[in-house]
Chains A and B, each alone.
Chain A
Amino acid sequence: MDNENRREGIFGMANPGRFGIERVAYWLMRLSGLGLLAYFVAHIYETSTILRGRAGWDDFLALTQTTEGHIVLAIVIAMCVFHTVNGIRVMLGHGGVGVGKPARPDYPYDPASQNYRHKIGIYSAIILAAIAMMYGLAVMFGE
Protein backbone atom coordinates (compact mmCIF):
# COMPACT_ATOMS: atom_id res chain seq x y z
CA MET A 1 0.00 0.00 0.00
CA ASP A 2 1.28 3.41 -1.01
CA ASN A 3 0.93 5.29 2.29
CA GLU A 4 0.78 8.86 1.13
CA ASN A 5 -1.61 8.23 -1.76
CA ARG A 6 -3.41 5.42 0.03
CA ARG A 7 -3.59 3.43 -3.18
CA GLU A 8 -4.45 -0.22 -2.67
CA GLY A 9 -3.03 -1.28 -6.02
CA ILE A 10 -3.41 -4.72 -7.49
CA PHE A 11 -4.12 -6.42 -4.13
CA GLY A 12 -6.89 -3.97 -3.36
CA MET A 13 -8.38 -4.52 -6.77
CA ALA A 14 -8.29 -8.27 -6.33
CA ASN A 15 -9.40 -8.41 -2.68
CA PRO A 16 -12.53 -10.57 -2.88
CA GLY A 17 -13.42 -10.58 0.81
CA ARG A 18 -15.24 -7.35 1.57
CA PHE A 19 -17.79 -6.61 -1.09
CA GLY A 20 -19.85 -9.72 -1.66
CA ILE A 21 -20.17 -12.12 -4.57
CA GLU A 22 -19.97 -9.32 -7.17
CA ARG A 23 -16.37 -8.58 -6.19
CA VAL A 24 -15.60 -12.32 -6.20
CA ALA A 25 -16.93 -12.48 -9.77
CA TYR A 26 -14.84 -9.44 -10.70
CA TRP A 27 -11.77 -11.15 -9.26
CA LEU A 28 -12.46 -14.52 -10.94
CA MET A 29 -13.10 -12.75 -14.25
CA ARG A 30 -9.65 -11.20 -14.21
CA LEU A 31 -7.96 -14.35 -12.98
CA SER A 32 -9.65 -16.52 -15.62
CA GLY A 33 -8.87 -13.91 -18.30
CA LEU A 34 -5.17 -13.97 -17.43
CA GLY A 35 -5.23 -17.77 -17.25
CA LEU A 36 -6.83 -18.05 -20.68
CA LEU A 37 -4.30 -15.58 -22.08
CA ALA A 38 -1.49 -17.75 -20.71
CA TYR A 39 -3.17 -20.83 -22.21
CA PHE A 40 -3.53 -19.03 -25.54
CA VAL A 41 0.21 -18.30 -25.63
CA ALA A 42 1.01 -21.88 -24.60
CA HIS A 43 -1.39 -23.17 -27.25
CA ILE A 44 0.36 -21.19 -29.98
CA TYR A 45 3.69 -22.62 -28.82
CA GLU A 46 2.17 -26.09 -28.75
CA THR A 47 0.92 -25.88 -32.34
CA SER A 48 4.27 -24.47 -33.47
CA THR A 49 5.93 -27.75 -32.42
CA ILE A 50 4.44 -29.34 -35.53
CA LEU A 51 7.22 -27.59 -37.43
CA ARG A 52 9.58 -30.11 -35.79
CA GLY A 53 7.68 -32.95 -37.39
CA ARG A 54 5.51 -35.70 -35.96
CA ALA A 55 8.01 -36.62 -33.24
CA GLY A 56 8.17 -33.06 -31.92
CA TRP A 57 4.40 -32.76 -31.98
CA ASP A 58 3.92 -36.08 -30.14
CA ASP A 59 6.59 -35.16 -27.59
CA PHE A 60 4.83 -31.95 -26.65
CA LEU A 61 1.35 -33.52 -26.69
CA ALA A 62 2.59 -36.15 -24.25
CA LEU A 63 2.77 -33.40 -21.62
CA THR A 64 -1.02 -33.13 -21.65
CA GLN A 65 -1.38 -36.85 -21.04
CA THR A 66 0.11 -36.68 -17.55
CA THR A 67 -1.85 -36.16 -14.31
CA GLU A 68 -0.58 -32.58 -14.05
CA GLY A 69 -1.49 -31.98 -17.68
CA HIS A 70 -5.03 -33.25 -17.09
CA ILE A 71 -5.44 -30.99 -14.07
CA VAL A 72 -4.20 -27.97 -16.03
CA LEU A 73 -6.60 -28.72 -18.88
CA ALA A 74 -9.48 -29.15 -16.39
CA ILE A 75 -8.69 -25.73 -14.92
CA VAL A 76 -8.59 -24.29 -18.45
CA ILE A 77 -12.06 -25.74 -19.10
CA ALA A 78 -13.36 -24.16 -15.86
CA MET A 79 -11.79 -20.80 -16.69
CA CYS A 80 -13.22 -20.87 -20.20
CA VAL A 81 -16.77 -21.63 -19.02
CA PHE A 82 -16.70 -19.10 -16.18
CA HIS A 83 -15.24 -16.35 -18.38
CA THR A 84 -17.86 -16.97 -21.06
CA VAL A 85 -20.94 -17.12 -18.80
CA ASN A 86 -19.86 -14.26 -16.53
CA GLY A 87 -18.78 -12.26 -19.58
CA ILE A 88 -22.29 -12.56 -21.02
CA ARG A 89 -23.72 -11.38 -17.69
CA VAL A 90 -21.36 -8.39 -17.59
CA MET A 91 -22.06 -7.49 -21.23
CA LEU A 92 -25.80 -7.56 -20.58
CA GLY A 93 -25.23 -5.35 -17.54
CA HIS A 94 -23.15 -2.94 -19.60
CA GLY A 95 -26.06 -2.72 -22.00
CA GLY A 96 -28.33 -1.79 -19.10
CA VAL A 97 -30.03 -5.21 -18.97
CA GLY A 98 -30.92 -6.41 -15.47
CA VAL A 99 -29.49 -3.42 -13.62
CA GLY A 100 -32.88 -2.12 -12.49
CA LYS A 101 -34.57 1.22 -13.01
CA PRO A 102 -33.85 4.51 -11.26
CA ALA A 103 -36.21 5.06 -8.33
CA ARG A 104 -36.34 6.92 -5.03
CA PRO A 105 -34.27 4.74 -2.70
CA ASP A 106 -35.68 3.53 0.61
CA TYR A 107 -33.46 2.79 3.59
CA PRO A 108 -31.59 0.40 4.00
CA TYR A 109 -30.76 1.08 0.36
CA ASP A 110 -30.34 -2.25 -1.36
CA PRO A 111 -28.74 -1.24 -4.66
CA ALA A 112 -30.95 -2.31 -7.56
CA SER A 113 -27.92 -3.00 -9.75
CA GLN A 114 -26.82 -5.73 -7.31
CA ASN A 115 -30.07 -7.64 -7.70
CA TYR A 116 -30.85 -11.34 -7.70
CA ARG A 117 -30.62 -11.60 -11.50
CA HIS A 118 -26.94 -10.76 -11.46
CA LYS A 119 -26.32 -12.92 -8.39
CA ILE A 120 -27.98 -15.84 -10.19
CA GLY A 121 -25.76 -15.10 -13.21
CA ILE A 122 -22.62 -15.19 -11.06
CA TYR A 123 -23.58 -18.39 -9.22
CA SER A 124 -24.57 -19.98 -12.55
CA ALA A 125 -21.15 -19.14 -13.99
CA ILE A 126 -19.41 -20.69 -10.98
CA ILE A 127 -21.60 -23.81 -10.92
CA LEU A 128 -21.38 -24.38 -14.69
CA ALA A 129 -17.59 -23.96 -14.54
CA ALA A 130 -17.41 -26.52 -11.72
CA ILE A 131 -19.63 -29.00 -13.63
CA ALA A 132 -17.62 -28.55 -16.83
CA MET A 133 -14.37 -29.05 -14.93
CA MET A 134 -15.66 -32.22 -13.26
CA TYR A 135 -16.90 -33.55 -16.60
CA GLY A 136 -13.51 -32.81 -18.13
CA LEU A 137 -11.74 -34.60 -15.28
CA ALA A 138 -14.09 -37.58 -15.66
CA VAL A 139 -13.34 -37.80 -19.39
CA MET A 140 -9.58 -37.37 -18.97
CA PHE A 141 -9.11 -39.67 -15.97
CA GLY A 142 -11.93 -42.10 -16.80
CA GLU A 143 -11.12 -45.34 -18.53
Chain B
Amino acid sequence: MAQVSSIANEQTSTPLSSPKTILLRISRYNPEHDESSRFMEFDVPYQRWTTVLEAILEVKKHFDHSVAVRYSCRQATCGSCGMIINGKPRLACFTKISELNSEVVTVEPMNNFPIIRDLAVKFEKLFESHQKIKPYLVRDDTELETDQKEFLQSPEEVEQYIQFANCIKCGLCNSACPTMATDSSFVGPQALAQAYRYVADSRDKGKDSRLKIIDDSHGIWRCHFAGSCSQVCPKGVDPAMGIQLLRGYLLGFRS
Protein backbone atom coordinates (compact mmCIF):
# COMPACT_ATOMS: atom_id res chain seq x y z
CA MET B 1 0.00 0.00 0.00
CA ALA B 2 2.83 2.36 0.89
CA GLN B 3 4.44 1.62 -2.46
CA VAL B 4 1.21 2.44 -4.32
CA SER B 5 0.95 5.68 -2.38
CA SER B 6 4.52 6.71 -3.28
CA ILE B 7 3.88 5.96 -6.97
CA ALA B 8 0.76 8.12 -6.81
CA ASN B 9 2.70 10.94 -5.19
CA GLU B 10 5.42 10.69 -7.81
CA GLN B 11 2.85 10.84 -10.61
CA THR B 12 1.04 13.81 -9.18
CA SER B 13 4.25 15.75 -8.68
CA THR B 14 5.34 15.44 -12.32
CA PRO B 15 3.36 17.78 -14.53
CA LEU B 16 3.37 17.37 -18.30
CA SER B 17 6.16 19.50 -19.70
CA SER B 18 5.70 20.89 -23.17
CA PRO B 19 6.25 24.25 -24.85
CA LYS B 20 2.73 23.99 -26.28
CA THR B 21 -0.28 24.79 -24.11
CA ILE B 22 -4.00 25.03 -24.67
CA LEU B 23 -6.64 26.88 -22.77
CA LEU B 24 -8.89 24.18 -21.32
CA ARG B 25 -12.33 25.50 -20.36
CA ILE B 26 -14.18 23.12 -18.07
CA SER B 27 -17.87 23.49 -17.29
CA ARG B 28 -18.46 23.40 -13.53
CA TYR B 29 -21.89 22.77 -12.09
CA ASN B 30 -23.03 21.16 -8.87
CA PRO B 31 -26.84 20.78 -8.79
CA GLU B 32 -26.75 20.76 -4.98
CA HIS B 33 -25.63 24.37 -4.61
CA ASP B 34 -25.06 26.02 -8.00
CA GLU B 35 -27.82 27.91 -9.76
CA SER B 36 -26.10 27.87 -13.11
CA SER B 37 -23.02 26.38 -14.70
CA ARG B 38 -19.81 28.35 -15.13
CA PHE B 39 -16.52 27.76 -16.89
CA MET B 40 -13.14 27.46 -15.20
CA GLU B 41 -10.10 28.00 -17.41
CA PHE B 42 -6.72 26.30 -17.18
CA ASP B 43 -3.56 26.53 -19.27
CA VAL B 44 -2.60 22.94 -19.86
CA PRO B 45 0.61 21.77 -21.59
CA TYR B 46 0.08 19.12 -24.24
CA GLN B 47 1.94 16.91 -26.67
CA ARG B 48 0.88 15.77 -30.13
CA TRP B 49 -0.61 12.62 -28.63
CA THR B 50 -2.28 14.15 -25.56
CA THR B 51 -5.98 13.38 -25.36
CA VAL B 52 -8.64 15.65 -23.91
CA LEU B 53 -9.11 13.18 -21.06
CA GLU B 54 -5.40 13.38 -20.21
CA ALA B 55 -5.65 17.18 -20.19
CA ILE B 56 -8.61 17.01 -17.79
CA LEU B 57 -6.70 14.59 -15.55
CA GLU B 58 -3.74 16.98 -15.67
CA VAL B 59 -6.04 19.68 -14.31
CA LYS B 60 -7.24 17.30 -11.58
CA LYS B 61 -3.65 16.47 -10.61
CA HIS B 62 -2.11 19.90 -10.58
CA PHE B 63 -4.77 22.61 -10.53
CA ASP B 64 -8.12 21.50 -9.14
CA HIS B 65 -8.75 17.97 -7.97
CA SER B 66 -12.47 18.65 -7.45
CA VAL B 67 -13.30 18.49 -11.18
CA ALA B 68 -15.79 15.63 -11.58
CA VAL B 69 -15.20 13.44 -14.63
CA ARG B 70 -16.06 9.81 -15.31
CA TYR B 71 -13.63 7.61 -17.21
CA SER B 72 -12.32 4.08 -17.12
CA CYS B 73 -10.61 2.28 -20.01
CA ARG B 74 -8.97 5.25 -21.78
CA GLN B 75 -9.17 3.36 -25.10
CA ALA B 76 -12.70 4.06 -26.42
CA THR B 77 -14.04 0.75 -25.20
CA CYS B 78 -15.94 1.46 -21.99
CA GLY B 79 -17.88 4.54 -23.15
CA SER B 80 -17.55 6.34 -19.81
CA CYS B 81 -15.92 9.61 -20.83
CA GLY B 82 -18.49 10.98 -23.29
CA MET B 83 -18.78 14.76 -23.15
CA ILE B 84 -19.27 17.81 -25.35
CA ILE B 85 -15.86 18.85 -26.65
CA ASN B 86 -15.77 22.10 -28.60
CA GLY B 87 -19.50 21.86 -29.19
CA LYS B 88 -19.73 18.23 -30.37
CA PRO B 89 -20.34 15.03 -28.43
CA ARG B 90 -17.10 12.98 -28.35
CA LEU B 91 -15.22 10.53 -26.16
CA ALA B 92 -12.54 12.46 -24.24
CA CYS B 93 -10.15 9.50 -24.34
CA PHE B 94 -10.54 9.16 -28.11
CA THR B 95 -10.11 12.85 -28.97
CA LYS B 96 -6.62 14.25 -29.27
CA ILE B 97 -6.13 17.93 -28.55
CA SER B 98 -4.00 18.24 -31.68
CA GLU B 99 -6.84 17.06 -33.92
CA LEU B 100 -9.21 19.76 -32.67
CA ASN B 101 -7.09 22.49 -34.35
CA SER B 102 -7.98 25.02 -31.70
CA GLU B 103 -6.09 27.00 -29.08
CA VAL B 104 -9.11 26.69 -26.82
CA VAL B 105 -10.72 23.40 -25.82
CA THR B 106 -14.12 23.65 -24.14
CA VAL B 107 -15.49 20.62 -22.33
CA GLU B 108 -19.08 20.38 -21.10
CA PRO B 109 -21.32 17.54 -19.88
CA MET B 110 -23.35 15.72 -22.53
CA ASN B 111 -26.62 17.27 -23.59
CA ASN B 112 -29.94 15.50 -22.94
CA PHE B 113 -28.64 13.83 -19.76
CA PRO B 114 -29.18 15.02 -16.16
CA ILE B 115 -25.96 16.28 -14.59
CA ILE B 116 -24.47 14.59 -11.53
CA ARG B 117 -21.68 17.14 -11.23
CA ASP B 118 -19.40 19.01 -13.66
CA LEU B 119 -18.75 16.60 -16.57
CA ALA B 120 -20.42 13.51 -15.11
CA VAL B 121 -24.00 12.75 -16.17
CA LYS B 122 -26.64 10.23 -15.15
CA PHE B 123 -27.17 7.22 -17.41
CA GLU B 124 -30.32 5.78 -15.79
CA LYS B 125 -32.64 6.83 -18.63
CA LEU B 126 -30.30 5.44 -21.30
CA PHE B 127 -29.99 2.09 -19.55
CA GLU B 128 -33.76 1.97 -18.93
CA SER B 129 -34.43 2.51 -22.63
CA HIS B 130 -31.75 -0.02 -23.51
CA GLN B 131 -33.27 -2.66 -21.24
CA LYS B 132 -36.76 -1.87 -22.48
CA ILE B 133 -36.01 -3.17 -25.99
CA LYS B 134 -34.87 -6.58 -24.65
CA PRO B 135 -31.16 -6.42 -25.57
CA TYR B 136 -30.62 -10.18 -25.65
CA LEU B 137 -31.44 -13.11 -27.90
CA VAL B 138 -34.98 -14.33 -27.36
CA ARG B 139 -35.26 -18.11 -27.78
CA ASP B 140 -37.34 -20.87 -26.28
CA ASP B 141 -36.01 -21.89 -22.88
CA THR B 142 -35.85 -25.52 -23.97
CA GLU B 143 -33.44 -24.59 -26.77
CA LEU B 144 -31.16 -22.69 -24.41
CA GLU B 145 -31.11 -25.33 -21.69
CA THR B 146 -29.83 -28.11 -23.89
CA ASP B 147 -26.08 -27.87 -24.40
CA GLN B 148 -26.25 -29.76 -27.69
CA LYS B 149 -27.87 -26.92 -29.60
CA GLU B 150 -25.70 -24.54 -31.60
CA PHE B 151 -27.07 -21.44 -33.26
CA LEU B 152 -25.02 -21.35 -36.45
CA GLN B 153 -24.92 -18.30 -38.70
CA SER B 154 -23.51 -17.61 -42.13
CA PRO B 155 -21.08 -14.69 -42.58
CA GLU B 156 -23.84 -12.87 -44.50
CA GLU B 157 -26.20 -13.22 -41.55
CA VAL B 158 -23.55 -11.86 -39.19
CA GLU B 159 -22.99 -8.85 -41.49
CA GLN B 160 -26.63 -7.87 -40.98
CA TYR B 161 -26.11 -6.87 -37.35
CA ILE B 162 -22.42 -7.00 -36.37
CA GLN B 163 -21.95 -3.26 -36.95
CA PHE B 164 -24.67 -2.53 -34.41
CA ALA B 165 -23.13 -4.91 -31.87
CA ASN B 166 -20.22 -2.45 -31.56
CA CYS B 167 -22.31 -0.08 -29.41
CA ILE B 168 -20.49 0.81 -26.18
CA LYS B 169 -23.46 2.65 -24.58
CA CYS B 170 -21.50 5.89 -24.35
CA GLY B 171 -24.63 7.98 -24.97
CA LEU B 172 -23.06 10.29 -27.56
CA CYS B 173 -25.81 9.51 -30.09
CA ASN B 174 -28.53 10.41 -27.59
CA SER B 175 -26.64 13.58 -26.76
CA ALA B 176 -26.49 14.65 -30.43
CA CYS B 177 -30.10 13.72 -31.23
CA PRO B 178 -32.29 16.80 -31.91
CA THR B 179 -35.45 14.87 -31.01
CA MET B 180 -34.04 14.03 -27.58
CA ALA B 181 -33.43 17.75 -27.10
CA THR B 182 -37.16 18.37 -26.98
CA ASP B 183 -38.83 15.03 -26.15
CA SER B 184 -37.70 13.61 -22.81
CA SER B 185 -39.80 10.47 -23.39
CA PHE B 186 -38.18 9.58 -26.73
CA VAL B 187 -36.56 6.16 -26.53
CA GLY B 188 -33.45 7.49 -28.33
CA PRO B 189 -31.13 6.36 -31.13
CA GLN B 190 -29.03 4.13 -28.86
CA ALA B 191 -31.93 1.88 -27.88
CA LEU B 192 -33.43 1.90 -31.37
CA ALA B 193 -30.10 0.87 -32.94
CA GLN B 194 -29.89 -1.95 -30.41
CA ALA B 195 -33.44 -2.98 -31.25
CA TYR B 196 -32.31 -3.32 -34.87
CA ARG B 197 -29.22 -5.26 -33.77
CA TYR B 198 -31.38 -8.00 -32.23
CA VAL B 199 -34.22 -7.87 -34.77
CA ALA B 200 -31.70 -8.41 -37.59
CA ASP B 201 -30.02 -11.32 -35.79
CA SER B 202 -31.09 -14.58 -37.46
CA ARG B 203 -30.85 -16.42 -34.12
CA ASP B 204 -33.40 -14.17 -32.45
CA LYS B 205 -37.13 -14.87 -32.13
CA GLY B 206 -38.16 -11.67 -30.31
CA LYS B 207 -38.75 -9.47 -33.35
CA ASP B 208 -42.50 -9.04 -32.87
CA SER B 209 -42.28 -8.14 -29.19
CA ARG B 210 -39.47 -5.63 -29.85
CA LEU B 211 -41.31 -4.03 -32.75
CA LYS B 212 -44.37 -3.70 -30.52
CA ILE B 213 -42.27 -1.88 -27.89
CA ILE B 214 -40.80 0.66 -30.31
CA ASP B 215 -44.02 1.15 -32.32
CA ASP B 216 -45.02 3.98 -30.00
CA SER B 217 -45.63 7.72 -30.24
CA HIS B 218 -42.35 8.31 -28.36
CA GLY B 219 -40.68 5.39 -30.10
CA ILE B 220 -39.32 4.94 -33.58
CA TRP B 221 -41.74 7.34 -35.29
CA ARG B 222 -40.26 10.31 -33.41
CA CYS B 223 -36.98 9.95 -35.32
CA HIS B 224 -36.79 12.44 -38.20
CA PHE B 225 -33.55 11.22 -39.74
CA ALA B 226 -31.31 14.18 -38.90
CA GLY B 227 -28.39 11.73 -38.83
CA SER B 228 -26.48 13.52 -36.05
CA CYS B 229 -26.39 10.30 -34.01
CA SER B 230 -24.40 8.52 -36.71
CA GLN B 231 -22.03 11.44 -37.20
CA VAL B 232 -20.88 11.37 -33.57
CA CYS B 233 -20.70 7.60 -32.96
CA PRO B 234 -17.08 6.74 -32.06
CA LYS B 235 -17.54 3.05 -33.02
CA GLY B 236 -19.14 3.37 -36.45
CA VAL B 237 -22.50 2.01 -35.36
CA ASP B 238 -24.67 4.26 -37.59
CA PRO B 239 -27.91 4.35 -35.54
CA ALA B 240 -29.65 6.42 -38.25
CA MET B 241 -29.29 3.53 -40.67
CA GLY B 242 -30.49 1.01 -38.10
CA ILE B 243 -33.57 3.08 -37.32
CA GLN B 244 -34.55 3.46 -40.99
CA LEU B 245 -34.01 -0.27 -41.61
CA LEU B 246 -36.03 -1.05 -38.51
CA ARG B 247 -38.87 1.03 -39.92
CA GLY B 248 -38.78 -1.27 -42.92
CA TYR B 249 -39.94 -4.12 -40.69
CA LEU B 250 -42.80 -2.03 -39.30
CA LEU B 251 -43.86 -0.77 -42.72
CA GLY B 252 -43.71 -4.24 -44.25
CA PHE B 253 -40.75 -3.66 -46.59
CA ARG B 254 -38.66 -6.20 -44.70
CA SER B 255 -39.57 -9.46 -43.03
Residues of chain A touching chain B, judged by Cβ–Cβ distance below 8 Å, are 3-10, 12-14, 17-20, 22-23, 25-26, 29, 90, 93-96, 99-100, 102-107, 109, 111-114, 118
Contact = CB atoms under 8 A, between A and B. Distances in A.
Contacts of B21: none
A10 B109 CA distance: 18
A3 B163 contact: no
Interface residues of B, number: 54
A14 B224 CA distance: 13
B244 A13 contact: no
Given A13-B181, A104-B163, A111-B230, A8 B244 contact: no
B187 interface: no
17 contacts: A5-B113, A6-B109, A7-B184, A12-B182, A13-B178, A18-B88, A26-B178, A95-B247, A95-B251, A99-B240, A102-B241, A103-B159, A103-B163, A105-B166, A106-B236, A109-B233, A113-B241
Contacts of A90: 224-225
Contact of A13 (B163, B182, B238): B182
Given A7-B181, A105-B235, A109-B235, A19 B112 contact: no
A118 B227 CA distance: 11
Given A20-B227, A22-B225, 20 more contacts: A3-B115, A6-B112, A6-B114, A12-B178, A13-B181, A18-B87, A19-B176, A22-B227, A23-B228, A26-B178, A26-B224, A26-B225, A94-B244, A96-B247, A102-B245, A105-B166, A105-B236, A109-B233, A109-B236, A111-B227
